[in-house]
A and B are shown apart, each in its own frame.
Chain A
Amino acid sequence: MSRPELRDYHAPVWREPVIMELSHPGRRGQIFPPPEPAVTATVGSAEDLVPKPMRRKDAPALPELSEPEVQRHYLKLSQQTLGMMNISLFGTCTMKYNPRACEEAARHLRHVHPLQHEETLQGILQIIHDFDLILCELSGMDQFIFQAGGGADAAYTHCVVTRAYHQSRGELEQRNEIVTSIQAHPCNAATAAASGFKVVTLMLEDNGYPSTEALKAAVSNRTAALMVGNPDDMGIYNPAIKDWVGIVHDAGGLCFYDHANFNGVMGKLRASELGFDACMYMLHKTFGAPKGGGGPAVGAYGCTAALAPFLPGPVVTMEGSRYRLDEERPLTAGKVREFYGNVPQILKAYGWARAMGAAGIDQASDLSVLANNYMDRRLAEIGGLSRSNPDNRQWRMEMTRWSLGKLKEDTGIGTVEVANRMADYGIDPWWMSHEPWVVPEPFTPEAGEMYSKEDIDTWVAVVARIVREAYETPDLVRTAPHRQAIRKIKGDVLDDPARWAMTWRAYRRKHRR
């Protein structure tokens, strides 16, 4: 293994004030013309068109700045965001390159309105339709929709489709439970509850997944659905998943495959062969669309033909050589969001899939699993850390959950402190774990197919350096970061109603008087 030199790094420090503090009365950043004389001659003054009781009296206290001042302010803020400019192995999120050619193509959609007549939307409807076919091939499902604004929203979509399905059979009142597991993403349990179901959560056994016996005990004629991911965030694949699906089906429930961790199994297995009724892909993770720091995102939700009548509308269909937006869906569960999805993201994901092709997609899962196991081997050379489920010695999938439990015991330095320190080396802080932490002081790296072997070596070298620092100079890590735009934040105000301030006006009232 090469031993990469760690570079000196320091984030830009701009000490940029809050934008309200940059205001100077009278400055303008955008001008709109007055109404044309013909307009004023016809309708009179704009002020008089506002009914009296609704006229705003005081102008909002927005900042007043010139256009370049605004531009420079936000450019500086972008520079003070590490934002994957170097190496981010942020597990469970599958960090990818977002092809700029797709960004460029998406500009075309800026001035498209979702309610335009279908005849004027044939290009984008074709892309949505063809991408639906690609996802159907990858999953074995029969129909995808893209309305959900993220993975959690796709889980919610499954819950509302489940409601509509059981309602149509007169069983919704009886089937009021959704079964999930403790290592499934929290959104599965949360959306099940928010859509009105009771949540039954299966706990893990020593082998890393819940036992089939526990599932059998949990399933009954009250079961509406099972919602699980596989492989999980430990990188462990549940080999009994087909039996699970059979058990839930026999009880009359539906099975939803949260395919958040699709990157390691793309081209290797499909939801349909495992028996699932529905699945979800995140286009902003697995399919190369950008994450935007938390959206706009797409949870592509696919299901079998049997469930398709219950999908939220509209569904893009093809009739002859024309593409249509089908809203005539008598059994539909109702919408989860207005219109038919974050369309530019669908376009970008389609572009990604076309550029990868079947062989490229298969190779991407190969490389992501190879990269993870390579990284695992390198991390194992560092003291103070351990792999989750140490007795499971099989190769892991595309990510592995690790623990800093020993480091914490030895030095008092845990995963939060190490994450903060990573940024001092220009590395985005790692993903720790969803709640609850099933291993102490967790972290979850995922290299994916984009990052090079050299990137992985550098990343591991940074971890090794910080672990050494934890043993030798723990205060250096405890007080990190030291080379960022700001020092470590104080968290105590964040849960104090007297001191938290979610807006500048609240801050001024509470702290500046």
Chain B
Amino acid sequence: MNTNEPQAHPWMANSTAEIQQAMLAAIGARSIAELFEQIPADHRLRRPLDLPPALVSEAELSRHLVETLRRNRTGAECLSFLGAGCWPHHVPAVVDEIVGRTEFLTPVWGSPQSDHGRNQAWFEFNSQLGELLDMEVVQLPVYSWGCAAGHAIRMASRITGRHEVLLPRVSDPERLSVIRTYCEPREMPRHIDLVPVDSDAAGELDLADLRRKISQRTAAVYFENPSYLGMIETKGAEVAALAQASGAQLIVGADPLSLGILKAPAQYCADIAVGPTQPLGVHMNAGGGVGGYIASRDEERYVREYNGFLVSITETERKGEHGFALASSHQTSYGMREAGKDWTGNSVYLWAIAAAVYMALLGPCGFREIGQLIIARSHYAARRIGTVDGVRLPFESGFFKEFVVNFDATGSTVAQINRRLREEHAIFGGKDLSKELPELGQSALFCVTELHTAADIDRLVAALTEVLS
């Protein structure tokens, strides 16, 4: 080996001079530079790239990444009560093993035959989520819950030919911003108007306000169950009846982890269900774990409006054998460009596999148990936090895993309280609501899941007591 030759790069098999010479000789070119003949000289960058020094050694690279990341503090070393669109839940070790498999992790895709196992896992995602939702059509997930809601509202607008959606005034600003983007500005011809509906004293949708606002212009009514502030919406059937009477679609956003104990949206007559997939076995990943599902009845008028990938079971040329492939696929933007239904592309399909494994591991009993554990622990947390001097609970029960805590009477702001919890007690307090919902005063949204033990909650209460004393 010639030690004067530049080192080959570990990720580039042809990065040796001798191989490049052989390839150049085979094609009859003198140099690699010659191969770029199509690019005019005045389009070229005339200097070398100015980038930080290369870390070609894996040992160096790993050390740099890990040392930089150590500047974070994470939920692994702190006790976190943050939720609001991304929640701490247990991810079974088997899920991590399966989504780490190279065959699932690295490729794009091939044929229904060469990708048979992956397509079956996708079908099993649809099938299991369909059981939780009591619905027969489930699409592979889109980028996020907000995106799922956006697509569903646009589906409803196309189905009804109407351009107005009624949705809760109190909505997650993060999700609402995405929905607003999908509904397009007023200047656009297919703009969908967002009409906010008030909450009643119990924190649920105000039916009187809904009645006032619903009309023949309404394409869809959208609400979430549990709501952004965690409340279980009890009047789903009444909302559905109102929507139906106006010829509007009912779209419900539901946390799939609640569905072992809560009715599925279809069981109170929702037409389209959407929601987050991250609770189903995906780590929070600093928000990089989010995904969104869309589901409906198996009616052609819905199926033909989906934007993404629907995976159907089918037969093969061998009798009795199953395969899986995309159904009703011509309607996507891959097939129809601008005439397709919205658009599709890479999404979060690896997380569909995570969710399939997760649902299979939990089964019906697991979903009941986790639902019961979450609702019991969240109520316990609320009751205990409510005993701290000056702390008030706007809603003492009727929520699932998130609830509002008000600190007005303590004389401290949420920001001040959370700062001391973080710096003195290694606790991340609930999401500060004071800017987005000023009518709630100094309030925070606390999230409690199956990961928060009674002892964790007692630790929070002790810390809050100290911070507020």
Residue contact A394 to B38, C-beta cutoff 8 Å? yes
| Further 18 A-B residue pairs, CB within 8 A, beyond A120-B73, A335-B177 | A29-B92, A32-B373, A39-B380, A40-B376, A56-B259, A59-B367, A163-B184, A189-B338, A242-B42, A284-B346, A295-B346, A338-B145, A339-B290, A357-B52, A450-B11, A452-B14, A494-B312, A502-B303
CB distance from A165 to the nearest CB of B (A): 12
Q: Report B326-360 CB contacts with A as 1/0, cut-off 8 Å.
A: 11111001111111101111111111010011011
Given A138-B49, A361-B49, are A33 and B373 neighbors across the interface (CB < 8 Å)?
yes
Interface residue from B78, B108, B312 paired with A294 (Cβ < 8 Å): B108
Q: Report A126-170 CB contacts with B as 1/0, cut-off 8 Å.
A: 110010001001100000000001111101100010010001000
Cβ of B118: which chain A residues have Cβ within 8 Å of it?
77-78, 81, 83, 293
Residue contact A110 to B283, C-beta cutoff 8 Å? yes
Q: Report B56-92 CB contacts with A as 1/0, cut-off 8 Å.
A: 1010011011101111111110101010111010011
Interface size range of chain A in the complex: 35 or more
Sample of 26 A–B contacts (CB below 8 Å): A19-B356, A54-B225, A60-B131, A60-B259, A64-B363, A78-B118, A81-B104, A108-B74, A110-B74, A120-B78, A130-B52, A190-B338, A194-B343, A199-B338, A231-B38, A239-B39, A293-B104, A296-B351, A339-B86, A343-B287, A364-B12, A376-B27, A420-B113, A435-B334, A486-B323, A487-B321
Given A395-B37, A505-B127, are A111 and B360 neighbors across the interface (CB < 8 Å)?
no
Q: Report A316-359 CB contacts with B as 1/0, cut-off 8 Å.
A: 00000000000000000111111111111111001101111111
Residue contact B326 to A504, C-beta cutoff 8 Å? no
Chain A CB count within 10 A is highest, among B311, B330, B338, B350, for B338
Interface residue from A49, A296, A488 paired with B397 (Cβ < 8 Å): A49
Residue contact B94 to A70, C-beta cutoff 8 Å? yes
CB distance from A41 to the nearest CB of B (A): 9
Residue contact B350 to A295, C-beta cutoff 8 Å? yes
Query: How far is A75 from B102 in the complex, measured between Cα atoms in Å?
Result: 11
**Is A237 interfacial (CB-CB < 8 Å)?**
yes
CB distance from A149 to the nearest CB of B (A): 4
Residue contact A453 to B38, C-beta cutoff 8 Å? no
**Is B1 interfacial (CB-CB < 8 Å)?**
no
CB distance from B84 to the nearest CB of A (A): 6
**Is B468 interfacial (CB-CB < 8 Å)?**
no
**Is B201 interfacial (CB-CB < 8 Å)?**
no
Residue contact A429 to B111, C-beta cutoff 8 Å? yes
**Is B207 interfacial (CB-CB < 8 Å)?**
no
Query: How far is A265 from B126 in the complex, measured between Cα atoms in Å?
Result: 40
Cβ of A194: which chain B residues have Cβ within 8 Å of it?
154, 342-343
Residue contact A32 to B347, C-beta cutoff 8 Å? no
Cβ of A469: which chain B residues have Cβ within 8 Å of it?
none
CB distance from B113 to the nearest CB of A (A): 4
Residue contact A62 to B343, C-beta cutoff 8 Å? no
Interface residue from A73, A361, A503 paired with B51 (Cβ < 8 Å): A361
The 8 lowest CB-CB distance pairs between A and B, nearest first, are A357-B54, A152-B345, A196-B188, A339-B287, A114-B287, A83-B103, A80-B117, A190-B333
| Closest chain B residue to A185, Cβ basis | B345
Residue contact A270 to B22, C-beta cutoff 8 Å? no
Residue contact B287 to A46, C-beta cutoff 8 Å? no
Residue contact B72 to A112, C-beta cutoff 8 Å? yes
Residue contact A65 to B233, C-beta cutoff 8 Å? no
Residue contact B316 to A39, C-beta cutoff 8 Å? no
Residue contact A149 to B74, C-beta cutoff 8 Å? no
Query: How far is A149 from B392 in the complex, measured between Cα atoms in Å?
Result: 39
Interface residue from A27, A167, A284 paired with B185 (Cβ < 8 Å): A167
Query: How far is A57 from B261 in the complex, measured between Cα atoms in Å?
Result: 8
Cβ of B32: which chain A residues have Cβ within 8 Å of it?
366, 369-370
Residue contact B343 to A156, C-beta cutoff 8 Å? yes
Residue contact A152 to B422, C-beta cutoff 8 Å? no
Residue contact A113 to B284, C-beta cutoff 8 Å? yes
Residue contact B13 to A507, C-beta cutoff 8 Å? no
Query: How far is A40 from B187 in the complex, measured between Cα atoms in Å?
Result: 55
Cβ of B316: which chain A residues have Cβ within 8 Å of it?
486-490
CB distance from B385 to the nearest CB of A (A): 12
Given A78-B101, A489-B323, are A340 and B74 neighbors across the interface (CB < 8 Å)?
no
Given A39-B454, A50-B375, A369-B36, are A77 and B117 neighbors across the interface (CB < 8 Å)?
yes
CB distance from B207 to the nearest CB of A (A): 13
**Is B424 interfacial (CB-CB < 8 Å)?**
no
Q: Report B101-131 CB contacts with A as 1/0, cut-off 8 Å.
A: 1111111111111111110110110111011
Chain A CB count within 10 A is highest, among B124, B191, B351, for B124
Residue contact A487 to B260, C-beta cutoff 8 Å? no
Query: How far is A312 from B143 in the complex, measured between Cα atoms in Å?
Result: 16
Interface size range of chain B in the complex: 35 or more
Given A137-B49, A295-B350, are A506 and B136 neighbors across the interface (CB < 8 Å)?
yes
Q: Report A74-86 CB contacts with B as 1/0, cut-off 8 Å.
A: 1111111111110
Interface residue from A1, A39, A502 paired with B327 (Cβ < 8 Å): A502
Residue contact A334 to B177, C-beta cutoff 8 Å? yes
Cβ of B300: which chain A residues have Cβ within 8 Å of it?
497
Query: How far is A455 from B19 in the complex, measured between Cα atoms in Å?
Result: 13
Residue contact B45 to A267, C-beta cutoff 8 Å? yes
Residue contact A374 to B113, C-beta cutoff 8 Å? no
Cβ of A187: which chain B residues have Cβ within 8 Å of it?
333, 343, 345
Cβ of B335: which chain A residues have Cβ within 8 Å of it?
435
Query: How far is A454 from B181 in the complex, measured between Cα atoms in Å?
Result: 48
Residue contact B51 to A137, C-beta cutoff 8 Å? yes
**Is A251 interfacial (CB-CB < 8 Å)?**
no
Residue contact A333 to B181, C-beta cutoff 8 Å? yes
**Is A306 interfacial (CB-CB < 8 Å)?**
no
Q: Which of B210-218, B234-242, B404-412 lies at the binding interface?
A: B234-242
Residue contact A111 to B76, C-beta cutoff 8 Å? yes
| Closest chain A residue to B174, Cβ basis | A338
**Is A434 interfacial (CB-CB < 8 Å)?**
yes
Cβ of B45: which chain A residues have Cβ within 8 Å of it?
267-270, 273
**Is A441 interfacial (CB-CB < 8 Å)?**
no
CB distance from A421 to the nearest CB of B (A): 10
Residue contact B51 to A357, C-beta cutoff 8 Å? yes
Q: Report A243-269 CB contacts with B as 1/0, cut-off 8 Å.
A: 000000000000000000000010111
Query: How far is A334 from B132 in the complex, measured between Cα atoms in Å?
Result: 32
Residue contact A337 to B146, C-beta cutoff 8 Å? yes
Query: How far is A81 from B115 in the complex, measured between Cα atoms in Å?
Result: 5
